[in-house]
Structure 1
């Protein structure tokens, strides 16, 4: 029976509350703490990591400029073709794009903020220290919630800002469009982040008693909703594929993303209204209409801010101690079935490497933060690949064959990009998280190189199995040729090996043993650098093989192909692209691992 914690009397509570500083003074102290931490980090980067900071800032700027150019050309195409059909159709098209984009990011922000808040609030030693200070519970929650907002929304700002600036530039928006933009983005990001924080606090309040039920129900709800949405979206007649009727039906099927109660819809309407030129119609006041949506978004963000503090005041301390004092389960001596399967699959590795890989595998499957994200993203991809069969009909048509090849390689690139986020989020921080128990590893009769190789094989093998299965499912659903299936499997193997080597190598070169949160480690310089380099590597590898393979298939079907599209020439081009991709994969795998082994061998903790 779980012992009950002693509850203070009303008199004791009154004395304790009366001895606390005022809300204003408490906020000032934590603001000074936040400012001191921020300035200390900036001074440390300027003094000891100038090259790293310059590289991250430079790559981020290049990434922003690349997205701006891409969105600029896209909106220019939409305005030039759709704008000629009337302002109403143009507004509907842009509303469809904005609503779909922001609604998807809205869901991601909810999960991201909730997961990050759990790691920084319930699994941090700093929280234990803050709870010993004479501060209010809601202040601790809000202090950690600020970090969750920052780490979960910086990617949203990086993706959304070039798109919105490009749209305003294309349609020649007035000045107040760009003035509203930062306030709209910040207030919008606050709403789903607050919802994620509320869900995290309420879930942790009841998690010790109903952990399996809560996680199981959440997984079932997400899978059912995603399956129904994808099924309705893809249930389109083949004759309407990419035609006017197809776009009309697609617009109607995504009507759930334009609900008037969604913050993403408020943001989309605010942006479209602010982008209209008031001088074209003196009676129209778009700045006023957009300002109303801005007030609506800001007021809801402030209301959710108060709700987060109110819930944190009432449930945080009880949920924290309830989670920390829950009775431990009796350990099982026998191995789980997944461990037995993994042991049989790793028969070729030395015993020490097998033990290290098994340790990382058990830590992964015992951490719901990791496997839940893995299950959600790859489960959604599985549902999508299982239903994306609309392109395989009428394969005698050359245009449809072109789309089949393009979609198959795009699916491969999507799998690679999602894999890059997982290697950055989970694989890169692995060695940094060993800092708390590094002294144990140092006492073991195990070479440090074995630790690095264990992390690498765990990442490469654990990522290759699901990724190759997803790519194979996509190819079989699209009914592509067996040559393309073989090329895709080879590319998938190269991506898994290269991304794993890059994440493990950079993680060993730039470890952060002071930080306990994997999300914060991944959001640092090394994690950002790993994510950018991973995206560039995926882009180069896919292009080296996708273009020659695509043209090779088209040349075999064309009656009179041009000289540069002759089958013999393209066969040589395809072979060269595969060899170049293999060489690039070897470089991005071997070079970071060698430097990581050298740095980890000389590391003193």
Structure 2
């Protein structure tokens, strides 16, 4: 047993090291390539200003990403899991429970961000006046920024716990207001587009990214601390780092004060079940159209569980909402991607990669643990009038029903906003649809082969050895299909390149999906670890 544990931990550490090394290399290469591109004579005058704008946009997106991730994790640790009720029964103070959740949620929400910041800091050190001083200042700025994100997320988690009982009573009204707000935001973003001369490309980009430099928000403070460290203005750097740290401390103390007064009341409210007159009678499940009856019932069950979990809904909305916001910002860049014809397909390929990464995150976070979480219900499934293979197929149908429409819509929106040809948009839609099928099948195959039916915490399943292997496999599959998507663009969209790209995409997707689903069908439900045919 000990030998097996050591072997698996070695493999897991090696897998994590490979992922981090590849990520560092890609981020460092991207930053260094961008700096080299901006170092050209025609862009040299605006290089420093554009670097400031891009850093502001980076911290702006990172702030909301980490804050919402932390809010979901802290809310789950305080109110969602079974350990939350157990902790509430212990002779410890509410403040102690809050700080434990604060640190745990902050670690899981921010460790990847800190890993992502290392290559960024190292790459920008090539532009620093004093590299060693810059390294120290930028490191302190990143730590203070992450602490500010953690504190903001904790406040959001406590606010969410207070509002969820109210949202349950007025769910339809809240959905209508949210949809109207999103539609209004999209209209405002698209309405601000106005074409400018191509010769003002960089200036146009800088002007339209000013929204990310709001001086009253922490992302702007982190950006100013980084820029001050780059230029050797240590007093300014210390001021903004102290501002970030002070804000983080104030928000954390406020969150502790709220938790000390509302934790147990909110826990009781969330643990209770809302009973209203119109919900006392049970309602029949609505079968999904165009799906066999048995699959429709299983998919409807998974869909209900997904929609009832606020943490899953927030994470799903965060994954794809940030991408939708970014793509809606493309018209604000004016002619930045219209000066050369090769820019638009290149940017669309990068957008396709970003959507694929979000889709891989979705399948790894939501689809991979699904079969393991059925462990406590296997005896019920064994009595059901269908084979276990149908349960796996239903999981695949659920993953495609949730993930494919959003990813396909984002890729199509990217192509339309970049004014690509119908052929390129259709081909990229085919690629992302193939990715949705292959990534979902891969998550199910590895989820069945490396299942842990004794674990009921999806976060631990995702963070375990099997989740790491699934992440690596998803990266390999995504890389293969992105390579096929790049063939027509590299070959100047010749007929042969289109044929090669389509055959490559469909062939890889079909082979990958077939193998993964066969593994899932063979291994699901084997509590003794033996395969069945």
Q: Shared topology, TM-score over 0.5?
A: yes
CA–CA distance in 1 between the matches of 2:492 and 2:468? 36
The count of residues paired between Structure 1 and Structure 2 equals 523
| Shift, 1:388, TM fit | 5.4
| Shift, 1:379, TM fit | 5.5
1:461-498 CA distances to partner (integer Å, 9 max, x unpaired)? 43233333443444455554443344233213211111
1:259 and 2:204 aligned: no
- What's the counterpart of residue 59 of structure 1? 19
- What's the counterpart of residue 250 of structure 1? 205
Q: Show the 5 A alignment for 1:433-448.
A: 433-448=373-388
1:320 and 2:267 aligned: yes
- What's the counterpart of residue 223 of structure 1? 182
TM-score, normalised via structure 2 length? 0.87
Q: Which runs of 5+ in 1 are unaligned?
A: 1-41, 278-285, 554-569
Kindly indicate whether the alpha-carbon contact (under 8 Å) linking 2:431 and 2:481 is maintained by their aligned counterparts in 1. Answer: yes
Q: Show the 5 A alignment for 1:14-163.
A: 46=6, 48-79=8-39, 81=41, 84-85=44-45, 89-163=46-120
Kindly indicate whether the alpha-carbon contact (under 8 Å) linking 2:225 and 2:237 is maintained by their aligned counterparts in 1. Answer: yes
Q: 2:517 aligns with which of 588, 593, 599?
A: 593
1:471 and 2:411 aligned: yes
Kindly indicate whether the alpha-carbon contact (under 8 Å) linking 2:488 and 2:498 is maintained by their aligned counterparts in 1. Answer: yes
CA–CA distance in 1 between the matches of 2:106 and 2:184? 26
| More displaced 10-residue stretch of structure 1: 116-125 or 215-224 | 215-224
CA–CA distance in 1 between the matches of 2:344 and 2:66? 32
CA–CA distance in 2 between the matches of 1:65 and 1:529? 20
Kindly indicate whether the alpha-carbon contact (under 8 Å) linking 1:412 and 1:492 is maintained by their aligned counterparts in 2. Answer: yes
| Shift, 1:135, TM fit | 0.2
- What's the counterpart of residue 364 of structure 1? 306
The 1:453–1:149 alpha-carbon spacing in structure 2 relative to 1, beyond 3 Å, is: same
- What's the counterpart of residue 289 of structure 1? 236
The 1:93–1:385 alpha-carbon spacing in structure 2 relative to 1, beyond 3 Å, is: closer
Kindly indicate whether the alpha-carbon contact (under 8 Å) linking 2:389 and 2:521 is maintained by their aligned counterparts in 1. Answer: yes
CA–CA distance in 1 between the matches of 2:327 and 2:355? 11
TM-score, normalised via structure 1 length? 0.77
The 1:520–1:258 alpha-carbon spacing in structure 2 relative to 1, beyond 3 Å, is: farther
Secondary structure of the structure 2 residue equivalent to 1:261: coil
1:194 and 2:151 aligned: yes
Q: CA RMSD in A?
A: 3.3
Secondary structure of the structure 1 residue equivalent to 2:491: helix
- What's the counterpart of residue 33 of structure 1? none
Kindly indicate whether the alpha-carbon contact (under 8 Å) linking 2:205 and 2:334 is maintained by their aligned counterparts in 1. Answer: no
1:12-66 CA distances to partner (integer Å, 9 max, x unpaired)? xxxxxxxxxxxxxxxxxxxxxxxxxxxxxx9996464322221222222222122
Kindly indicate whether the alpha-carbon contact (under 8 Å) linking 2:138 and 2:225 is maintained by their aligned counterparts in 1. Answer: no
CA–CA distance in 2 between the matches of 1:515 and 1:51? 21
| Shift, 1:402, TM fit | 3.2
CA–CA distance in 2 between the matches of 1:297 and 1:462? 38
The 1:263–1:445 alpha-carbon spacing in structure 2 relative to 1, beyond 3 Å, is: same
Q: Show the 5 A alignment for 1:248-397.
A: 248-277=203-232, 286-328=233-275, 330=279, 333-335=282-284, 339-340=286-287, 342=288, 344-347=289-292, 351-375=293-317, 378=320
Larger CA Rg, structure 1 vs 2: 1
1:384-405 CA distances to partner (integer Å, 9 max, x unpaired)? 6678579999x9x9x6543443
Secondary structure of the structure 2 residue equivalent to 1:345: coil
- What's the counterpart of residue 423 of structure 2? 483
1:421 and 2:376 aligned: no
- What's the counterpart of residue 450 of structure 1? 390
CA–CA distance in 2 between the matches of 1:406 and 1:90? 21
| Shift, 1:320, TM fit | 0.3
Q: Which runs of 5+ in 2 are unaligned?
A: none
| Shift, 1:315, TM fit | 0.8
CA–CA distance in 2 between the matches of 1:509 and 1:78? 48
| Shift, 1:221, TM fit | 8.3
The 1:287–1:222 alpha-carbon spacing in structure 2 relative to 1, beyond 3 Å, is: farther
CA–CA distance in 1 between the matches of 2:220 and 2:326? 25
CA–CA distance in 2 between the matches of 1:43 and 1:121? 36
- What's the counterpart of residue 236 of structure 1? 194
- What's the counterpart of residue 505 of structure 1? 445
- What's the counterpart of residue 499 of structure 2? 575
| Shift, 1:604, TM fit | 4.2
Kindly indicate whether the alpha-carbon contact (under 8 Å) linking 1:236 and 1:249 is maintained by their aligned counterparts in 2. Answer: no
